[in-house]
Amino acid sequence: MKVVRSARLGLQEGSSDKVYDVDLIENDALPGEQRFVVNFRYGRRGRALREGTKTATPVVREAAERIFDSVVVSKINEGYRRLDGASAAPVASAPDSQGASDGRARVLLERLDQCRRSPQQPPGLDRLLWRVGEVRLTAATPALLDIARRVGAADASYSLVFALARAAGADAVPALQDVAARSTSTMVRDLARFALRSRLVGAAQQATDIDQELPAAIAQAVRARDAHQLAGAIIALAEQDRTKVGAILATLAGLAQHDTDSAPVLAAAVMTMPARPPYLIGLRKLYKYAEMADDAALFAAAAHRFETAQPMYRRRPGGDGRVWVPALGARVQVGWQRGTPDPRVGLSQATLFYFKRRIWRALRKRGDLGDPRFVELAAAYLLSLRPDDMTPPARWTAWVRLSNGTWGRQPRAIGPLGRNWTASQLLYRHAPEMTARSGSMTFMEIGEHPAADEARRDDAFPALWAARPDLALDLAARSGCEPVALHGLRVMQADAAFVQGLAGEALGRLLTSPFAAILRFAFDEARNRLARGSVDDALLVALIGADLKEARQLAVDRIDREAALPWSSPALAQAVLTARHEDIAEPILRWARDRRLAAGVGEPLAQGITVWLLAQPAERDASGDSLIRAVRARLSALWSARDMVVAQDVVLRLMEHPSPAVAAAGVDMLALTGVDPATLTDDVWRRLLGAPSPEVQEAALALFGRNSDETLTRHAPLVVAFATAPSTGLRQAARPLVARVAARDSALATRLARELIDSLFLTPPDDAYAADIVALLDAALPDQLAALDAGTLWRLLQARAKGAQLLGATVLPKRPFDTFSVRQTARLGNHAHLAVRQWVMAAYDDAPARFRAEAADAVLIVESDWPEITDFARRYFDAWPPEAWTPETIAVVTDSVKPEVLDFARHLLRSRLAPADVGAQLTRLLEHPSQSMHLLVSELLTQDAVASDAAFDKLMPLARIVMLQVHKGRVAKDRMSAFLHGEALRDAVRAQRIAPLFTDLTLSGTARDRSHAILALRDIMERHPGIVSPVQRRPVAGKVA
């Protein structure tokens, strides 16, 4: 005897530490091929192990191998891990050898033959038939047909139909037709009908009559290949008649078998259906049918629905059969729901777990057989996972008995797909740090582990994955789940030859991934290829459209170095012209302007661009319209010679596109073909120029501008209409046309200038209107602006309308400095436009004698609100000699109420006022309302200055204001008080008027002011005894001894 194979497995969970050993032993002493047995030992580590056998009698080598692998796999599924250093993947995960396949087939055929010879149906027949169907044992066809004949169509089992369809194929069609017609089981009958429509029967496949077997709305959605429409039609059917949904889904599954284009549409619609009545029955059928037919798309969609579903209810042991259904908010007798055409309750927790186990079992059995369809089904399922199917990674600790016998905390963790049974098995089945979780087929990480090597493979059946790196590419490029995408990347990276042979288009798909590792892989591969000098147009197309900025820059650098690029091929040229990223807009426009199209590229490129434009949706967002505008500019630069070749009917289709941006591009392309605008009919012009979209009108106007001057003059009203249109783009586009028309017809130019100027006094249609019209007048009608008289110009400058002001500010700098009087020029110093103010300052500097001669008008400029004018005026007037400052001129400044002007006025009075003029100025200042002038007034107070009664009459109200102020104006108050005190002592008449002011001051103000007022009243009464005052002098009473 000798040990052919052995496996040592272990399981550590909490305080449990189990081992399980399996041996495949050959007994050389036995004759024949049946000399192999499978034994096992199990128990706790360190203790005596119990022994057992899986083969009561010796079997052939192939059967023993299968039993050995089955035991190992079953234990691994329970959470055991290999302890003997062998790969965690069982040998059966690789494709079977020819010998193993032959041995399996021989055993299955022998067992089938035994069943055929048995007078009664053996108890394990259905299991055997199911296994024959799984293996797809074609050699079993005669036996299967014989069994079908003996069992009879009415009593055919589900497993028999499964085996007939998968193993016998087209040879089983008569038997399947008999079952479909006579079976007493609805489930078996439906499965047989589907088998007849599936690809399993080859050329005998029956087609689905879409019009006869599907409602009109669903049939229309299928023909339109619109998953959203199909899902809506099925939902509408469910609202009308819930009992038909399951049958319709089964019919659609059959349709997808021969109409392969409808399969992804149905799968996408299924992804929107909850695993709840009335969809539940249909979803169960879809899964079973897809499992039988190896239909990857439907298998993935149906499996996804069950894998991500939540149970509708949980059934407890015992009880009266009633369960609580949260969705219904009631307790329901589940038994009454079974078998009804429209059940309201379905998908218990037990059923859901059954389907989850069945999904993985279907995949695992194919993997065990080395069936390449395993990868197709697994990849389709992984691709069905969406980002919202992931859950946040979780970490926690559990109290467990440690290896040293003490209790302690044990770290545990699950990843984003840690609750997905099938994904866990596919991605982490052989991860050494993973441990099976009780009650499910998922894994958790126990303990602290270093970060795993990025290239490490933990997936199930890696040998089968290695044979399909193309599907791994799909996972890496298309999946939105990072664990799935990285699995695809690892499979690809393990196949260096596949990576080297990746087309540029494939790298482009990888460059669209949202995951850094995949982007880094694709970018590094692209950079290495370009560094080796291999210029692949497909690679450049991928790079130029990549979301990764570094990738786009890589393409730009490569194209910049080779002058023939990017207009060397239609595909690359179209990708560059339609690139959407703004950071490469400048080099693309530069290439279009500086580099020429290669021979033979222009016509197919133009056709490709038209197809791209026609495919644009009617409604686009702002970024989409912006891209089309950029494409239009690039096309104009590339076909600057106007030699584009595009069929006229295609251009007309573009111009009739519902998207204004596309229609405008069509007009541009019409112009780039070099068409003569004069050959276009008036109907075409009316349709283009009268389009509701300003964008189309602008493009049409550019084409219209290619007409001769004579033609434009005939259409002068139309040109003027566009020049004053509500759209700023139209107004700007019409500007050169107006110039051409005006150059040919001076009378029209004069009339147009008058109308445009008058429009500037009205409310503009938009904010840019005034600037556009002024620019139009300045560029197209300069002679008419130069002919404007001073009165009209002054009206423009003084208008309240901003457009009129802007035009005046545009015209004035071109006029001589003596256009307006000194007073008008000074008033313009407060104009809102800087150009006007600069002209005013230049006018002052140009003729100082003129402005000094009319000084009273010239100083009006100080009233400007603009700081630069105020500073200019102060510097300018400081240079005037004292004799220029007549009282009238100074009065203009001092009459202002603006603080900055008053500051300048005080400076003038202190530095320029002649002594003889003080009286006249003081009279004006006494009437000034600003408190800032009080101090200056107190400086000018002299006996001569107020000698007249009129001046004194004006002084008294101001004196009351100044002297009754509280806590401010101390210097002015003291000066005013002292001056009035002296005047009262000098003149009895004035004392009569001054005494009441001091009397009032004794009743308010500060103690200092009251004291001064009392003393002033004392002196006044002593000097003028006839003046009566409430304040009287009293003798001081003598002190009492």
* Cis geometry, peptide bond prior to residue 123 (ω within 30 degrees of 0): no
Q: If you average pLDDT over every residue of the chain, what do you get?
A: 85
Give the whole-number percent of the chain exceeding pLDDT 90.
Answer: 45
Under the banding of pLDDT at 50, 70 and 90, the label for residue 936 is low
Instruction: Give the CA count within 13 Å in the CB-facing half-sphere of 512.
Output: 16
Q: Which amino acid is at 254?
A: G
Whether residue 197 lies inside any domain: the answer is: yes
Cα–Cα distance, 9 to 435 (Å, whole number): 13
For the beta carbon of residue 447, count every other beta carbon within 10 angstroms: 11
Q: Which amino acid is at 726?
A: P
Cα–Cα distance, 298 to 300 (Å, whole number): 5
Contact (CB, 8 A) for 1013 and 999: yes
Whether residue 561 lies inside any domain: the answer is: no
Which one of 795, 813, 831 terminates a domain?
813
pLDDT digits (tens, 9 = 90+) for 621-631: 888 889 999 99
Cα–Cα distance, 670 to 785 (Å, whole number): 37
Q: Is the pLDDT of residue 97 over 50?
A: no
Q: Are residues 159 and 37 in the same domain?
A: no
Q: Are residues 78 and 142 in the same domain?
A: no
Q: Are residues 48 and 187 in the same domain?
A: no
**SS3 for 434?**
strand
pLDDT digits (tens, 9 = 90+) for 647-667: 888 988 998 889 999 999 998
Residue span of the structural domain in which 762 resides:
708-813
Q: What is the CATH number of the domain that holds 39?
A: 2.20.140.10
Contact (CB, 8 A) for 511 and 542: yes
Under the banding of pLDDT at 50, 70 and 90, the label for residue 909 is low
Contact (CB, 8 A) for 805 and 794: no
Alpha carbon 794 to its chain's center: 53
DSSP of 781-821, one letter per residue?
Answer: -HHHHHT--HHHHHHHHH-SSHHHHHHHHHHGGGS-TTSS-
Whether residue 62 lies inside any domain: the answer is: yes
Q: Are residues 79 and 152 in the same domain?
A: no
Contact (CB, 8 A) for 931 and 940: no
> Highest mean pLDDT: which of 788-792, 896-900, 985-989?
788-792
Backbone angles phi, psi at 148, to 5 degrees: -60, -40
Give 429-435's long-range contacts (Cβ < 8 A, gap of 24+). Answer: 429/76, 429/88, 429/89, 429/458, 429/459, 429/460, 430/87, 430/88, 430/89, 430/457, 430/458, 430/459, 430/460, 430/462, 431/458, 432/81, 432/88, 434/458, 435/12, 435/13, 435/79, 435/81
Residues 6+ apart with CB under 8 A from 750: 784
Secondary element (H or E) of residue 284: helix 280-293
Contact (CB, 8 A) for 729 and 698: yes
Whether residue 1015 lies inside any domain: the answer is: yes
Q: Are residues 72 and 10 in the same domain?
A: yes
Where helices occur in 327-468 by DSSP H, the ranges are: 349-368, 373-384, 421-428, 462-466
Per-residue confidence (pLDDT) for residue 698, from 0 to 100: 82
Contact (CB, 8 A) for 409 and 399: yes
What is residue 511's DSSP assignment?
A: T
Whether residue 970 lies inside any domain: the answer is: yes
pLDDT digits (tens, 9 = 90+) for 515-561: 999 999 999 999 999 888 877 888 899 999 988 899 999 999 999 99
CA distances from 374 to 283, 293, 440 (A): 21, 13, 22
Q: Are residues 74 and 161 in the same domain?
A: no
pLDDT digits (tens, 9 = 90+) for 715-746: 777 777 777 877 787 788 888 888 888 888 88
Give the pair of three-digit tokens for residue 495: 């196949």
Per-residue confidence (pLDDT) for residue 379, from 0 to 100: 97
Q: Are residues 213 and 310 in the same domain?
A: yes
What's the total number of domains in the chain?
4
pLDDT digits (tens, 9 = 90+) for 920-931: 555 555 455 555
Q: What is the CATH number of the domain that holds 1023?
A: 1.25.40
**SS3 for 53?**
strand
**Burial annotation 710-737 (CB, 10 A radius, 16+ → b, else e):** eebbebbebbbebbbbebbbbbbbbbeb
pLDDT digits (tens, 9 = 90+) for 152-206: 999 999 999 999 999 999 999 999 999 999 999 999 999 999 999 999 999 899 9
pLDDT digits (tens, 9 = 90+) for 431-468: 888 888 888 889 888 887 777 677 788 899 999 999 99
**Pairing label, strands 434-436, 2-13:** unpaired
Cα–Cα distance, 629 to 616 (Å, whole number): 13
Give first-to-last CA distance, the chain, whole Å.
Answer: 150
Q: Are residues 231 and 309 in the same domain?
A: yes
Whether residue 935 lies inside any domain: the answer is: yes
Cα–Cα distance, 858 to 820 (Å, whole number): 12
Give the pair of three-digit tokens for residue 188: 């078996």
Backbone angles phi, psi at 138, to 5 degrees: -65, -35
Contact (CB, 8 A) for 762 and 727: no
Alpha carbon 448 to its chain's center: 38
Per-residue confidence (pLDDT) for residue 158, from 0 to 100: 95
Per-residue confidence (pLDDT) for residue 390, from 0 to 100: 94
Q: Is the pLDDT of residue 237 over 90?
A: yes
Q: Are residues 195 and 256 in the same domain?
A: yes
Which one of 68, 88, 108 terminates a domain?
88
Whether residue 171 lies inside any domain: the answer is: yes
Q: Are residues 346 and 216 in the same domain?
A: yes
Q: Is the pTM of this model over 0.85?
A: no
Give the whole-number percent of the chain exceeding pLDDT 70.
Answer: 90
- How are the residues of the chain apportioned to helix, strand and coil, as percentages rounded to the nearest 5? 60, 5, 30
Cα–Cα distance, 481 to 485 (Å, whole number): 6
Under the banding of pLDDT at 50, 70 and 90, the label for residue 901 is low
Q: Which amino acid is at 631?
A: V
* Cis geometry, peptide bond prior to residue 278 (ω within 30 degrees of 0): yes
Contact (CB, 8 A) for 186 and 193: no
Cβ-in-10-Å burial (0-12, 13-18, 19+) of 639 comes to: buried
Considering just the CA atoms, what is the radius of gyration of the chain in Å?
A: 50
Whether residue 936 lies inside any domain: the answer is: yes
What is residue 692's DSSP assignment?
A: S
Q: Is the pLDDT of residue 752 over 90?
A: no
Cα–Cα distance, 981 to 1016 (Å, whole number): 6
Least confident of 217-221, 546-550, 821-825, 1009-1013: 1009-1013
Residues 6+ apart with CB under 8 A from 732: 772, 775
What is residue 461's DSSP assignment?
A: -
Q: Are residues 269 and 357 in the same domain?
A: yes
Per-residue confidence (pLDDT) for residue 941, from 0 to 100: 59
Per-residue confidence (pLDDT) for residue 1041, from 0 to 100: 45
Give the pair of three-digit tokens for residue 227: 């998953």
Q: Are residues 152 and 16 in the same domain?
A: no
Which one of 813, 837, 867 terminates a domain?
813
321 or 583, which is more confident?
583
Per-residue confidence (pLDDT) for residue 96, from 0 to 100: 43
